[in-house]
Amino acid sequence: MQIPISEIENQKKIMRTIREEFSQKIMDAAQSAKPLGYVDTYGCQQNESDSEKIRGMLIEMGCVITHDEYVADIIVINTCAIRENAENRVFGNVGDLVHTKKAKPNQLIAVCGCMAAISENVERIRNKYKHVDMVFSPADLWRFPELVYQVLSEKYPTKEDKEQSAKTRERSKKSKTLHTLPSSEYPQARIAEGLPNHRDMKIKAWLPIMHGCNNFCAYCIVPYVRGREVSREPSAILAEAKEIIDAGYKDITLLGQNVNSYNPVPSGKVCEVSEVSDFPKLIREMSKLDGEFLIRFMTSHPKDAGEELFRAMAESEKVARHIHLPFQAGNDRILKLMNRGYTSAEYLDKLAFARELMPDIVITSDVIVGYPGETDEEFEDTLRLVEKAQFDAMFTFIYSRRPHTAAAKLSDTTTREEKQIRFDKLLELQNAISAPNISISLLLRGSLCRILS
């Protein structure tokens, strides 16, 4: 679902109002001529990209970005819910902000991101983290200015506001409560074009092409916190890519939970051959843009990474020869339980096809150990797959039970120690595989390489 442009314009108006009416009030005049905004990001690249938009909005509200939470007038914590230990770390750090707020009682604190889309977390923040002023989910990111305005107008009421709240005592009681935006229980991902964006890096730029996820892998919380998949219009993506290239960025990463299911064409519509109607066509089109740059993308789901994707990669000079293709498990029963939609043999066939077309392709992957019910023998299949796949790098995770997911209902009898042993075995195997490739400069000796300048 695309947010109407009039709604975005309204948020822009609110940002201007905050800049003109409130920024003097919220800033600590001793520290700077403008209020200081601080954004802390946990989790994936999508969150990094969302944080750049939050920074852009803070700047529009009159803030200067700081990297020191102790001096900040507005703090935003952009959270990750993918594993329980990520959540615990966030709760610990949000708890510590009670000290920064004691030192600066006018400080505003917001918690957003995937954790903020889970009602249990919102309740926990409401009850136990009273120094937090506002919470909003990824689907509501575009309404951040509206939320800041709500908090500020309650903190610094006008004369009329005061008269109004004197009439309704309820309202003044409410000023102690946490500010939230009404979202549906399972949020719908939204496309909000035209929000300000403050890119953090000089060479590397994030470019989201879609939001949300439809895959419902049994262990994964993402569809429940980021909602169903929606794709941006190709024209909007290509226009943003041009802006990024013109601004001098050299390395553009297209972002989506599963970029291979990129689909901007409404269902039932017959599309023209020339239309950018899927991901391989999008990267082919983007490669035609003028300039010296490299296109990357993540993440790819193996069930949707077809031959045409690898052909488009091989034939597009500006696409990096790297694919991150999480396999998650090497045993077919576990893959089925995980609802992944491929077998280990099909996965390996895809790698073979990619390497045949691009012998120099770099392949990285994710794997989960200790999925509920995974036996030692089934884990051995994961070791065998890693041995055969010869990944350039692999990210290993111990299964973490997530609320709402299908896997959360399965009984899990493997002990933490057994899972740790499997984790260590995988790490040892992958380290042995990666080691010979580490000295990339030695591998490249004598070859001619393209330099992006």
Q: Which partner in ligand SF4, ligand 5AD, none is near 400 (CB below 5 to 8 A by kind)?
A: ligand 5AD
Rounded to whole angstroms, how far apart are CA atoms 371 and 403? Answer: 15
Q: Which partner in ligand 5AD, ligand SF4, none is near 111 (CB below 5 to 8 A by kind)?
A: none
Phi/psi for 97 (5° steps) reads -65, -10
**Which of 251, 304, 308, 366: binder of ligand 5AD (CB under 6 A)?**
366
Structure tokens at 152: 């500020």
User: Closer to ligand 5AD at the Cβ: 108 or 255?
Assistant: 255
275 is a contact residue toward ligand 5AD (CB under 6 A): no
Residues 217-246 binding ligand 5AD (CB under 6 A) are 219-220
- Nearby residues of 444 by Cβ (< 8 Å), 6 or more positions away: none
Per-residue contact flags (x/-) with ligand 5AD for residues 292 to 311, judged by CB under 6 A: --------------------
User: Closer to ligand SF4 at the Cβ: 37 or 113?
Assistant: 113
Could you list the beta-strand ranges (E) of 194-249. Answer: 204-208, 210-211, 230-231
Per-residue contact flags (x/-) with ligand 5AD for residues 183 to 222, judged by CB under 6 A: ------------------------------------xx--
Closest among 335, 338, 348, 343 to 387, alpha carbons compared: 348
Q: Give residues in contact with ligand SF4 (CB under 6 A).
A: 43-44, 46-47, 80-82, 113-114, 222, 226
DSSP state of 43: S
- We find the least distance from the C-beta atom of residue 338 to ligand 5AD, in angstroms, to be 10
Residues 243-262 binding ligand 5AD (CB under 6 A) are none
- We find the least distance from the C-beta atom of residue 437 to ligand SF4, in angstroms, to be 26
Q: Which partner in ligand 5AD, ligand SF4, none is near 43 (CB below 5 to 8 A by kind)?
A: ligand SF4
Structure tokens at 275: 């239309």
CB 323 within 8 A of CB 305: yes
Per-residue contact flags (x/-) with ligand 5AD for residues 319 to 358, judged by CB under 6 A: -------x-x------------------------------
Closest among 11, 107, 116, 25 to 66, alpha carbons compared: 107
**Which of 42, 53, 74, 83: binder of ligand 5AD (CB under 6 A)?**
83
Q: How far is CA 51 from CA 48, 58, 142, 257, 294, in A?
A: 5, 10, 12, 17, 23
- We find the least distance from the C-beta atom of residue 424 to ligand 5AD, in angstroms, to be 16
CB 277 within 8 A of CB 265: yes
CB 107 within 8 A of CB 72: yes
What residues form DSSP beta bridges with 76? Answer: 39, 110
Q: Which partner in ligand SF4, ligand 5AD, none is near 366 (CB below 5 to 8 A by kind)?
A: ligand 5AD
- We find the least distance from the C-beta atom of residue 428 to ligand SF4, in angstroms, to be 26
CB 282 within 8 A of CB 262: yes
Count of H-run helices and E-run strands, the chain: 17, 13
Phi/psi for 77 (5° steps) reads -110, 110
User: Closer to ligand SF4 at the Cβ: 222 or 323?
Assistant: 222
